């Protein structure tokens, strides 16, 4: 069983490394790592190339997490879904083929939880949309949505182990937002 989990973990990591934002940006003739915040994610694509391309990147990045979590659910249930979600997020955040410099994992994690906890996911989207609309800060919207996720998982009555597992995945994504938090404190955060 462990051999299958490890093999699927590698597959999920590789899936997570799919360079959605760099490919969309390259097709438009820019290097997204040298524009705006330099982050290869949906928010920076939106700032640089408009919301339509930003939505494309969000959907592609979310698909990586959704596919990984879906494989886990089908292959061996919820524990493997969490493990493969983590592997896909790690692949997105630390892609070996791009010097371990990737995105922040919000869309990939969101896609995973659209599969793992589909009842909670729509509320996270609403939180993100409302906060980003009011503040024009994608990072703040992402932080609040990610922070709300374990609460949602607890409220829908999932098994007890899923709350700390969700928190662990959220910490992984939140760790990539320390720079954003510093910029918010000094009022220098990039706006949508």
**φ, ψ for residue 161, nearest 5 deg:** -65, -20
pLDDT at 178: 81
**φ, ψ for residue 44, nearest 5 deg:** -70, -35
pLDDT at 161: 97
pLDDT at 8: 98
pLDDT at 103: 92
Give the Cβ contact number of residue 145 at 10 Å: 26
pLDDT at 183: 86
Give the Cβ contact number of residue 71 at 10 Å: 20
Over the chain (192 residues), what is each successive 10-residue block's mean pLDDT?
94 97 94 90 91 95 98 97 98 94 94 96 95 92 95 94 96 88 83 78
DSSP state, residue 96: G
pLDDT at 69: 98
pLDDT at 177: 85
Is pTM, for the whole model, over 0.85?
Answer: yes
C-alpha span between 28 and 53 (Å, rounded) = 10
Contact 101, 33 (CB under 8 A): yes
The residue whose two tokens read 């290097």 is 31
Domain map of the chain by residue range? 2-185
C-alpha span between 160 and 177 (Å, rounded) = 27
pLDDT at 10: 98
Give the three-class secondary structure for 157.
Answer: coil
pLDDT at 141: 92
**φ, ψ for residue 120, nearest 5 deg:** -80, -35
């Amino acid at each position: 069983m462990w051999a299958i989990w490890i093999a699927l973990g590698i597959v999920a990591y590789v899936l997570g490394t799919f360079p959605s934002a760099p490919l969309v940006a390259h097709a438009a003739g820019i290097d997204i790592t040298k524009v705006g915040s330099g982050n290869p994610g949906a928010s920076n694509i939106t700032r640089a190339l408009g919301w339509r391309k930003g939505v494309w990147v969000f959907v592609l990045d979310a698909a990586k997490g959704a596919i990984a979590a879906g494989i886990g659910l089908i292959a061996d249930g919820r524990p493997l879904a969490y493990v493969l979600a983590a592997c896909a997020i790690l692949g997105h955040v630390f892609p070996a083929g791009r010097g371990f410099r990737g995105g922040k994992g919000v869309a990939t994690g969101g896609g995973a939880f659209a599969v793992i906890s589909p009842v909670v996911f729509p509320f996270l989207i609403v939180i993100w949309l409302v906060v980003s609309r009011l503040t024009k800060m994608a990072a703040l919207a992402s932080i609040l949505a990610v922070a709300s996720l374990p609460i949602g998982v607890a409220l829908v009555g999932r098994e007890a182990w899923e709350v700390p597992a969700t928190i662990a995945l959220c910490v992984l994504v939140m760790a990539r937002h320390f720079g954003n938090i510093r910029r918010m404190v000094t009022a220098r955060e990039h706006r949508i």
